[in-house]
A and B are shown apart, each in its own frame.
Chain A
Amino acid sequence: MAEPTPSLAPARPPTGPRVWNNPRARAIIYQVLVLGGVIGAAAYLIDNTLTNLAERSIRSGFSFIWHEAGFAISEALIDYQPNHSYVRAFIAGLLNTLKVGLLGIVLVTILGIIIGIARLSTNWLVARLASVYVETFRNVPLLLQLYLWYSLLTEMLPGGRDALSLFTAFYLNKSGLMYPVPVYDGIHPFMIVAFLIGCVGAYAWGRYATRRHEATGVPTPRFWPSVGFVLGLPLVVWLIGGAPTAIDVPQMERFRFVGGWHVSIEFIALLLGLVVYTGAFVAETVRAGILSVSRGQTEAALSLGLRRGLVLRLVLLPQALRVIMPPLTSQYLNLMKNSSLAVAIGYPDLVAVANTTLNQTGQAIEAIAVIMAVYLTISLAISGFMNWYNKRVALVER
């Protein structure tokens, strides 16, 4: 163990204070200083805040959320009345946020893909129109677009009984869209179960198709059987249940509409604004993703004898998706966050509810903390998924 150290020429001793020249010690000192600064600043702000709160005799803490809210929410997915608690109001607001956000994500994906592909069309007119769309809508602030949509809808649409109607089943007026829904029937829950089973069935079919293809070499169709599972199964259940066809159609009565379901004009304006604005960005993302796959890939696949549909499915899409997914996810996140502009046009989303709460109780810190915590959770969930996906599909390079 104890080998004699080889003798060296006498070294020059380090100059200056030794600790400061030790990189590790220096790193610790830096970090302690920064951390101390941050903690100090935070302590100062908290102290000020507490003094101010005491001075203005504003209560703090989250106990208020159990109190009666006392304000109405114009549309909610759960039963909510003014005499319910703040926490219930927050949940109603959150559900409204999720409603417009999730529907928006679905619609913006469809719109973005269509416009993105149109921008790459060999048809000059189609490509031009698509790029005019993109340039127009992404260069104007979303809030302005929302105000404009909202004003247009509320000023231009007829009021009350003069509603625009389609097939005398859908009615659109200043106050929103009335649309028909099937009358509840005992078979409906079973249809939902059948739909879920159908999804599982479609997935299982996909795996079976792959295995059969690998074993026998015969490519097995996937698309139509999957559609059959997902849509056919509920249809069969519906038929077994006696095919109930009763539909609750909105009817014009003396002063208002009864029956059917209803979405508010605020919801429509917000959804329209979010989808049209974000769609322009998604289109650019899709376009860039498609362009990122080099022409050589298509040529190589074609010269192997693959048909165009297969080239798209097996070679182009997997590569384009890899490029599209990360920016697409961040567009989804943007849409979610931008749905908070609902507060400007009076759609009761989470921010609008929190804003009302804040004005009523004066508990700004708590109300804003709720908004931030909820959005942060949504963002982290979506970006967590994105990171997982990216790791899964990352290309292996030298």
Chain B
Amino acid sequence: MINLAERRAASGPVIQMAGVNKWYGEFHVLKNINLEVRSGERVVVCGPSGSGKSTMIRCINRLEEHQKGRIVVDGIELIADLKQIDAVRREIGMVFQHFNLFPHMTVLENLTLAPMWVRNTPRKEAEDAAMAYLERVKIPEQAHKFPGQLSGGQQQRVAIARSLCMKPKIMLFDEPTSALDPEMIKEVLDVMIELAQGGMTMICVTHEMGFARTVADSMVFMDGGEIVEKAPPTEFFKNPKSERTKLFLSQILH
């Protein structure tokens, strides 16, 4: 553990956002976002609904385009260049609130699709790797089913495994548990915790504060399109600096 922490501290930022602004028409969604994430760092983002959390992390793999400022991921700047964007997307895995599994393919096909078509992995190899990841998310027996036949928690774990199959350096999670029933949340969080302990760089939008306390290196609080506060979890929960953070925490921690 110590070793890992040292390595983390030593390494430079893999994600840098500087002065990022975005508008939807006249509506200012992201206001001057400055954020750096070091390799191996686990960032948890929280904030009220509509504060721009999703928009921010979707800018990181260019599902949304920012209009001002710069975003650099692993040394590659996100500009209007398809090659650059492809390169960045290969480095980043993303898990969505509504899973977005491909309903017309089996679980195994979902997992091997990108390795075979993007990384040019032979099928056998891709399948072996996929099975290994399914083991890791504890559902190898579901490999030949279709997504529609799985429970929500199982689907989300497949979605995580699908991203992992591309061996990403960074994982983005956008409220991965908020579409799930309470009894399924734990099985997904367990997988995410295990992933975090393996040293993965993660940015995670979630309101699961227990999870945040366990794994986060830093907490980011957003409101009205701004990053209001970034702090390590102990500090963040014990004495938040901003009034807005206090109010938010009092609401969700009761």
A and B: bona fide binding partners: yes
Residue positions of A touching B, CB distance < 8 A? 213-219, 294, 296-297, 299-307, 310, 314-315, 318-319, 322, 393, 395-398
Cα distance, A31 to B119, chains bound together (Å): 64
User: B100 contacts A306, CB within 8 Å?
Assistant: no
**Closest CB-CB distance, B15 to chain A, in whole Å?**
15
Name the residue of chain B whose CB is nearest to the CB of A299. B63
Known A-B contacts A315-B102, A319-B103, A397-B148; A302 and B63 likewise in contact (beta carbons under 8 Å):
yes
Chain A residues within 8 Å of B68, by CB:
none
- Which 7 A-B pairs have CB atoms at the shortest separation, nearest pair first? A300-B100, A214-B123, A304-B114, A303-B94, A397-B148, A296-B100, A396-B146
CB contacts (< 8 Å) of A322 on chain B: these are 104
Instruction: Choose the segment among B18-26, B43-51, B84-92 that binds chain A (4+ C-beta atoms closer than 8 Å).
Output: B84-92
Chain A residues in 8 Å Cβ range of B248? none
Q: 1/0 per residue B142-168: CB within 8 Å of A?
A: 000110111000000001001100100
Q: Which of A214, A300, A396, A397 contacts B102 (CB 8 A)?
A: A300
Q: Are B117 and A314 in contact (CB under 8 A)?
A: yes
Chain A residues near B113: list those with CB within 8 A: 304, 306, 314
Q: Is B98 an interface residue (CB 8 A)?
A: yes
Q: Which of B89, B123, B124, B149 contacts A397 (CB 8 A)?
A: B149
B-side interface residues, number (CB < 8 Å): 39
Near A by CB (< 8 A), chain B positions 58-111 give: 61, 63, 82, 86, 89-90, 92-94, 96, 98, 100-104
Chain B residue numbers with a CB within 8 Å of A301 are 102
Known contacts: A305-B86, A306-B114, A306-B118. The answer to whether A296 contacts B162 by CB under 8 A is no
- Most chain B CB within a 10 A radius of its CB, from A213, A215, A217, A294: A217
Are B123 and A304 neighbours in the complex by a CB distance under 8 Å? no
Assess the B116–A214 pair: CB atoms within 8 A.
yes
- Tell me, yes or no, whether B120 is within 8 Å of chain A by CB: yes
Cβ–Cβ contact B148 & A398, under 8 A? yes
Among candidates A217, A302, A306, residue contacting B120 with C-beta atoms closer than 8 Å: A217
The smallest beta-carbon distance between B95 and chain A, in angstroms, is: 9
Known: A303-B61, A397-B148. A215 touches B122 (CB 8 A): yes
Chain A residues with CB below 8 A from B98, complex form: 296
Sample 17 A-B pairs with CB under 8 A, ordered by A number.
Answer: A214-B116, A214-B122, A217-B120, A219-B120, A299-B100, A300-B94, A303-B61, A303-B92, A303-B172, A304-B118, A305-B166, A307-B118, A314-B113, A318-B104, A396-B148, A396-B149, A398-B150
A43 to chain B, nearest CB (A): 51
Asked if A304 and B162 make an inter-chain contact with CB atoms under 8 angstroms apart, the answer reads yes
Whether B121 sits at the interface, judged by CB under 8 Å, is yes
A206 to nearest B CB, angstroms? 16
Q: Is the CB of B96 within 8 A of A299?
A: yes
Q: Which chain B residue shows the least CB distance to A301?
A: B102
Q: Which residues of A contact B150 (CB under 8 A)?
A: 398
Task: Assess whether B125 is interfacial by the CB under 8 Å rule.
Answer: yes
Give the distance in Å from the alpha carbon of A299 to the alpha carbon of B100 in the complex.
Answer: 8
Given the contacts A306-B114, A319-B103, A217 and B125 also touching, CB distance less than 8 Å? yes
Nearest CB in chain B to that of A214: its residue: B123
- Find chain B residues with CB under 8 A from A306 CB: 113-114, 117-118
Measured between alpha carbons, how far is A393 from B116 in the docked complex, in Å? 22
B217 to chain A, nearest CB (A): 23
Contact A218 B120 (CB under 8 A): yes
Q: How distant is the Cα of A307 from the Cα of B121 in the complex, in angstroms?
A: 16
Q: How far is the CB of B144 from the nearest CB of chain A, in Å?
A: 11
Interface string of B172-190 (1 = CB under 8 A from A): 1000000000000000000
What distance in Å separates the Cβ of B176 from its nearest Cβ neighbour in chain A?
13
Separation in Å of the A190 CB from the closest CB of chain B? 39
A290 to chain B, nearest CB (A): 15
Question: Within 8 Å CB of B92, what residues of A?
Answer: 303
Question: Considering only CB atoms, which chain B residue lies closest to A303 in the complex?
Answer: B94
Residues in B neighbouring A397, C-beta threshold 8 A: 146, 148-149
Contact B123 A305 (CB under 8 A): no
